[in-house]
Amino acid sequence: MSQSDNNRFQEFFEEDKYILLKNYLYNYLLRKSAVEKRLQKEEIKLALEIGSGISPVMTRTNRIIYSDLSFGALQILKHTHENQQCVVADGMKLPFKPGVFSHTICSEVLEHLQDDRKALNELSRVMNPSGILIVTVPHRKSYFSNDDRFVKHFRRYEIFELEEKLKAAGLIPMEIQKVLGPLEKVTMSLVVFCFSILQKLNSKSVKAAPKYRFIQFFAPLFKWTNRLFMGLVWLDARMMPRAFASVLLVKAQKK
């Protein structure tokens, strides 16, 4: 993730329990499915995913370069995706020549950047003519709350605002789809609230942190609980109007 000093993902990369459980999260799986679905009919010559962290959202092609500002995250990623290319890079200053990529992917990254316009300009610059960008962002400024502050979001987006920023970067929005609905927003707010309370209690306790073996035992339950809940969140997103979506996916084409 770019600007790792401004979010809390770096501290998680160093914890075994996070690495073990991260890829089971229902919201990550739904975002990943949505991104890959939008790209399944595309002819990918070479793609770039920025801010991939340890969990990239596009894994159905070998013609991709993963990038992140965190060297530690990419080290972990190399262990799980041995044949893929990884490049340490700032999303606001990409080290690639113009017109290199046919597709670029930016999922849950722009909201972490102080200058999201600069990042969009960089993505547009490294795309070839008629290149495709897939971006997902948190939606609705009125939804901004404790979970956004916890992961150091600078903002949430309104549709008109995102469209304007894409067009300013030379990108034409082609599709705007809802990915997650209000149930996901409520869930994450409650999870962060409970987690914050547990952190405070743990800071006052002398008990040792959970053993890795316990996390391994807990992982299957965590996995299947997320799988089941994913169905409810998917249904919620399908039923609710786009205006209430908590996460949007935009597919845009370079002018």
The whole-angstrom separation of Cα 68 and Cα 86 is 8
pLDDT (tens digit, 9 = 90+) per residue, 99-129? 999 999 999 999 999 999 999 999 999 999 9
Query: Which burial class, exposed, middle or buried, applies to 199 when counting CB atoms under 10 A from its CB (0-12, 13-18, 19+)?
Result: exposed
Q: What is the SS3 assignment for 191? A: helix
pLDDT (tens digit, 9 = 90+) per residue, 41-72? 999 999 999 999 889 999 999 999 999 998 98
* CATH code, residues 4-254: 3.40.50.150
Average model confidence (pLDDT) across the chain: 88
The whole-angstrom separation of Cα 191 and Cα 50 is 27
pTM, two decimals, is: 0.88
Q: What is the SS3 assignment for 97? A: coil
pLDDT (tens digit, 9 = 90+) per residue, 146-172? 999 999 999 999 999 999 999 999 999
Every domain of the chain and the residues it spans: 4-254
* Predicted local confidence at residue 149, as pLDDT: 94
Residue with tokens 């949007």: 248
Can you tell me the mean pLDDT for 35-39?
A: 96
* Predicted local confidence at residue 114, as pLDDT: 93
* Predicted local confidence at residue 161, as pLDDT: 97
